[in-house]
Amino acid sequence: MTSTTKSNVANDAMSLINDLILYQDSIPPYKDEVVKKCAKQIEELYQANYDDILAMRSKLDSSSSSASSIHDDPKMQLCRARQNCIEHIKRLCLTYLTVRLDRLKSLRWKHGGLLPFKIKNNLSPSETEWLNGYSRMLAEFQQSIGDNGVNLFGHIHPPKSLHIHVRALSDYGEFELSDGTTIILKKNSLHYIPREDCDTLLKQGILEFANLGC
C-alpha cells in the first residue's frame, strides 16, 4: 500500500480540484455525484479500518503472546495508510466546497446581487440557500448601523468628483435622478450625472464610464 494506491483512491476528489483550477475565478457546475462518491469512499475506508482494528483487538485479547498493544501489529500500518487517505479526501472535498463559496461571495460583491444566469445554473441548491442567507445577514448588519443603515456596496473607491461622465450601452429609457430630473438613456448617449445615482446601473452593465479625455 504505497502512494500509488492513495492517488488512485483520491482521483475523484482530485478531479473536483482540477475543475476549480480549470475555471479559474468562475464557478464550475456542481458535481454532486462525485462529492457523494468521495463521501462513500471515506465510509468504506473507515469501515475497513474499524473492522481491522476490532480484529486486532480481539486477537490481542485472546492470544497469550507478550505483544503489548495493537500498535505492534503489522496491520496497523495499513490502518494508518487508510486514515491518511481519509484525511486527504476529506481535505480535498472541503477545499472544493470552500473555494466555491469564496468565489461565490466575491461574485456577489462584484455584481451587487444580480448574478449572471450561467453562474446561477452552476450552483447546488444548498449553495443558493447559502447565498440567500448571506445576503440576508449582510442586509441585517447594514440596517443595524445608524438610523438609515449603511450601504456597503456603495462608495467602493475614494471619490474623485461628485459627478461622472457615463455612456449608456443600451436603450434603457427614462431614468430619474436623485434631484428629480429625468434623463432619457438611449444607446451611446453621454450623460454627466451624480455618482450615487449611477452606481446600480454601472454594476448592471447598462452604463459605462466615458473617458472623454478632458
Partner 1 sequence: MDSLPTTSDSADLLSVHASVSDFNTQVDEELTTPAEVLKEMTEVWVNECAAPKLLPHRFDLMECLVDQVEQMESNIAMHTDTKQLKCAIHRMELHRIRYIINHYLRTRLEKIEKNPLPILREHEKRLQQRAELLDEKELAFAQKFAESRMKLFKSAFLANIPESMQKLPVNVPKLSEHRVFIEVEKDGVEDVNIPDMTDPNGEKILTLEKNTKHFLPFESIQHHLENRDVKLM
**C-alpha to C-alpha distances, 96 to 29, 62, 125, 170, 209, nearest whole angstrom:** 12, 45, 16, 38, 36
d(CA 202, CA 48): 57
- With beta carbons less than 8 A apart as the criterion, state whether 30 and 123 touch: yes
- Could you tell me the smallest distance in angstroms from the CB atom of residue 187 to partner 1? 29
Interface map 95-124 toward partner 1 (x if CB under 8 A): --x---x---x------------------x
Q: Which of 33, 31, 17 is nearest to 89 (CA)?
A: 17
- Could you tell me the smallest distance in angstroms from the CB atom of residue 137 to partner 1? 5
For the chain, what is the radius of gyration of the CA atoms? 28
153: helix, strand or coil: coil
Nearer to partner 1, 164 or 168 (CB): 164
- Could you tell me the smallest distance in angstroms from the CB atom of residue 66 to partner 1? 31
Q: Does 158 engage in binding with partner 1 (CB under 8 A)? A: yes
Where are the alpha helices (H) located in 63-147, listed in sequence order? Answer: 75-111, 117-122, 125-143
Q: Does 190 engage in binding with partner 1 (CB under 8 A)? A: no
Q: Does 209 engage in binding with partner 1 (CB under 8 A)? A: no
* Contact pick of 9, 27, 42, 85 for partner 1 (by CB under 8 A): 42
User: Interface residues with partner 1 (CB under 8 A)?
Assistant: 35-36, 38-40, 42-43, 46-47, 86, 90-91, 93-94, 97, 101, 105, 124, 126-127, 129-130, 133-134, 137-138, 140-141, 144-148, 150-152, 154-159, 161-162, 179, 195
